[in-house]
Amino acid sequence: MGKGPVSKQTRGLPPLVRALAFGCILLALLLCAQEVLAPKGGCIDGFYAEPEDTIDVIFLGSSHANAAFAPAQMWREQGFTGYVLYSWSQPMWVSYHYAVEAFKRQTPRVVVLEGFGLCYGTTYMTPADVDGTSDDYSLRIPPSLNRAALAVAMSRCQQNSPPFYRYLPMLRYHTRWKSLTAEDFTWFFQDHATTGKGYGPLQTVEEFPVPILEGEPEETPIYPQAEEYLYKLIALCRKKDVPLVFVVTPYETSGAEYGVFRRAARICAENGVPVLDYNTPGGRDIGFDYATDLADHSHVNTAGAQKISTDLAAYLAEHYGMPDKRGDAAYAAWDEAARMEHRDAQNITLRFTLDMAEYFRLLMQDKDLAAVITTQGDATEADPSAPRAVFRQWGLDTLPLEQSGMQGLYVVDGGKVVYQKTGAGPLEYTLSWGGHDVTLRSAADNSSTTVDGEEQSRNRPGVNVLVYDKVLDRVIQSISFSTLHAYSGYTA
């Protein structure tokens, strides 16, 4: 049978429709390409893994907020949810657009603003430093009109910035194609949920004097665009009918910065925004100790964060009727996240301990830790008396610390030695940690510990330790007590 005439409608789409379709496909490909090219691992990836309309408090701010606000602790103590939507050196215009981003997914009961971003141009970081850091990290939010508006705001507000269109990932990161990895293509399909909810604990301790203020500091002018966006954030929260709380966390603060916070406090008072000042002797009395609660000149450590988070959580619960969702099946993931964060916090002391005797005491007294210990090289090349005493205390064969050229493999679990083998080497042993395959090797020229085929050992002459947390189901540290460092702990 012959074919009939082809109708006009079947000859193809009209040219305009075909052009529009081609343009849409090209645009979609360009958007995908630029997201692949953009660096991964932004500060707020975990925020998008949170279910919509489940976050009670949004915390905005810089790394000061990241170090000071612990949502999992607040959950344990008061039962409400929170997320720290921070970015490094976050200036006020970024805080505002992050708030816009937050309101697209969440209906928070309260927004908390950490105030360091108002000190643009008056703080220890120069505007160029802030701008460079902000350029690298602030735009790591999904493509949207809000991201475009943020790029425009950064171009307009920063002292050092390119035209806004230069923030397009395709233009900014086009040379990254040379170093792309599989993760760049699979990143968007991965789960980036975190138990910390934007909190980044710092364990180091640096002592600073208690600030002494002679009278009330005079107001310091705020960088105009920073003040503009403070007003815009106040207006945004008022429009959303969500209370805003202004917080200043402790750090080594200049007189000009105190003046900025004084002006900000006046603006807040005029607009019904409460101020919680943890940064002055006359601020909130939480027992903050400048000798023990700072990690460095600009961030609180875990001890300081615990005090701030306890007080702030109690304040929010008292003044804003925060719901207690503990025990609610819909929020069971928060119970688990809080448990995991609490467990992780318990390990911090161990991870920052470099004295071998104290390290093994902490390790062997924790029933939820397991470890493998391997030796490498001649363990007698440095004075072995101290590590030998440690081995004897915990029932580990001291042969590698007694005789030159001897090696040792050891496995401890919950404070008990469950396997050990010593001799001339090379020595090998395999075991399983929660379904993970672990292989140990000890020899004169190599110390190897692989977990699921991935090398984890520090492989230093002396004693190498790999620690596994059974609750967290992951390796928490690889450390060496090396003859190269007189058996002091080394993690680099």
Alpha-carbon radius of gyration of the chain: 28
Please state whether the predicted TM-score (pTM) of the whole model is above 0.85.
no
Domains defined along the chain, listed by start: 27-177+186-346 (3.40.50.1110), 355-490 (no CATH)
pLDDT tens series, the chain, 492 aa: 455 554 455 456 688 877 887 778 876 776 676 666 667 666 688 899 999 999 999 999 999 999 999 999 999 999 999 999 999 889 999 999 999 999 999 999 999 999 999 999 999 899 999 988 888 888 888 888 999 999 999 999 999 877 766 666 655 665 666 777 777 666 666 666 788 899 998 878 888 888 877 777 789 999 999 999 999 999 999 999 999 999 999 999 988 999 999 999 999 999 999 999 999 876 688 999 998 899 999 999 988 999 999 999 999 999 999 999 999 999 999 998 898 888 888 888 898 899 999 999 999 999 999 999 999 999 999 999 999 999 999 999 999 999 998 999 999 999 999 999 999 979 999 999 989 999 999 998 889 999 999 999 999 999 999 999 999 999 999 999 999 999 999 886
